[in-house]
Amino acid sequence: MNPSDDSARGRFITLEGGEGVGKSTNVDFVVEHLRGRGLEVVRTREPGGSPRAERIRTLLLDPAADEPLDQTAELLLMFAARAQHLAMTILPALDRGAFVVCDRFTDATYAYQGAGRGIDRGAIEMLERLVQRGLEPDLTLLLDMPVEAALARMIARGATLDRFETQAPAFFCAVREGYRHRYEAAPQRFELIDAAPALAQVQAAIAAALDRRLAQWGTI
Ligand SMILES: Nc1ncnc2c1ncn2[C@@H]1O[C@H](COP(=O)(O)OP(=O)(O)O)[C@@H](O)[C@H]1O
Ligand SMILES: Cc1cn([C@H]2C[C@H](O)[C@@H](COP(=O)(O)OP(=O)(O)O)O2)c(=O)[nH]c1=O
C-alpha cells in the first residue's frame, strides 16, 4: 500500500487465481482469520465493491447474447469500476486503519484482459497508473492449481456460468500463465498457495502465510 505508507494506515490484501481455485471460499477464511487477530477488516471484491461499481459488474458479467462486449470496453469498464471502488470503499477503509481483503484486483486485469484476451500490457499499465496512483496491494495470495481440476470444481459447484466462465479451457490456461508472470515479476508481494489439496490443507497454508506477513508488518 504505497507510496504514502505509514503505520496508521491499514493493509490491503488481495486474493487471486483462476475460476474454481477456491477464492470465494478462502476470502471468508482470510477475513475470519484476521478478525480473530483483533483486526478491523473490510471484505470486498472486484469487479464491484461499491453500489455503482457493482452495477458495472453486472454489465461485465452479463452473458446476454444480444451484443458481444468489445474487449477494450471490457478493459475500461474494469478500471472504471476500480476507480469507483477505490474512492468509495478501499481508500476510506485504509485511511481509518482497517484491513481490506479484496477478492481479485488489478492482477486479474493483467491475467484476464492481458494474457487471456491479448490486450497490450502497456495499455493496462497506463490505466493502472491513472486509477491507482501508485497504490498496490501489500499482499496478494495467489491460489494456483491445474486448470482442468479447477474447472471441474467450478462445474461441480453448479451455479449458472457468467460471461467469463463460459470461455474455452485455452483461455484459462493463458490466464494461469498470466498470473504466474505477475508472481515472477514481483514475488515479494505474493504468497503462492497450492490450491489443489483438501481445503483444510489450503487454509493451513493461508493462515501460516498471513501470520508471517502480520509479524513482518509488526501487527502481531
Ligand atoms: N481445496 C478444495 N478442495 C475441494 N473443493 C474445494 C476446495 N476449495 C474450494 N472447493 C470447492 O470448489 C468450488 C469452487 O470454489 P469457489 O470458492 O467458488 O472458487 P472460485 O471463487 O475461485 O471460483 C466450491 O464448490 C468449493 O466448495
Ligand atoms: C477484477 C477482474 C475480474 N475479471 C473477471 C474474472 C472473473 O471471471 C470475473 C468475476 O470475478 P469473480 O466474481 O471473482 O469470479 P469467480 O468467483 O467466478 O472466480 O471477472 C477480469 O476479467 N478482470 C478483472 O480485472
Q: How far apart are CA 201 and CA 194, in angstroms?
A: 9
Specify the pLDDT at position 76. Answer: 98
**Which ligand 1 atom minimizes the distance to the CA of 23?**
22
Dihedral sign (CA 91, 92, 95, 100): negative
The ligand with the least distance to the CA atom of 155 is 1
| Ligand 1 center–CA 96 separation, angstroms | 32
The ligand with the least distance to the CA atom of 144 is 1
**Which ligand 2 atom minimizes the distance to the CA of 46?**
1
Specify the pLDDT at position 8. Answer: 80
Q: Is 22 annotated as a binding residue?
A: yes
Task: Convert the pLDDT of each residue in 80-130 to its tens digit.
Answer: 999 999 999 999 999 999 999 999 999 999 999 999 999 999 999 999 999
Could you count the other beta carbons within 10 Å of the beta carbon of residue 165? 16
Specify the pLDDT at position 58. Answer: 97
Q: What are the grid coordinates assigned to 167, written together?
A: 470461455
Q: Is 17 annotated as a binding residue?
A: yes
Task: Look up cell 486448470; give the residue.
Answer: 147
Dihedral sign (CA 41, 213, 45, 133): positive
Q: How far apart are CA 106 and CA 161, in angstroms?
A: 22
Q: Which of 106, 153, 164 to mutate to test the pocket of ligand 2 (most atoms within 8 A of CB)?
A: 164
Give all domains of the chain, ordered by start, each with its CATH number: 12-217 (3.40.50.300)
For residues 155 and 32, is the Cβ–Cβ distance under 8 A? no
Instruction: Tell if the pTM clears 0.90, that is, is over it.
Output: yes
Q: What are the grid coordinates assigned to 171, written together?
A: 483461455
Specify the pLDDT at position 5. Answer: 52
| Ligand 2 center–CA 181 separation, angstroms | 18
Q: Is 175 annotated as a binding residue?
A: no
Q: Which of 59, 154, 175 is nearest to 111 (CA)?
A: 175
Among protein residues, the one whose CA lies closest to atom 26 of ligand 1: 22
CB half-sphere exposure, 146, CA atoms < 13 A = 4
Specify the pLDDT at position 7. Answer: 64
Chunked into runs of 10 residues, the chain (220 residues) has average pLDDT values of: 64 97 97 98 98 98 90 98 98 98 98 98 98 98 98 92 93 98 98 98 98 96
Q: What are the grid coordinates assigned to 110, written together?
A: 493483467
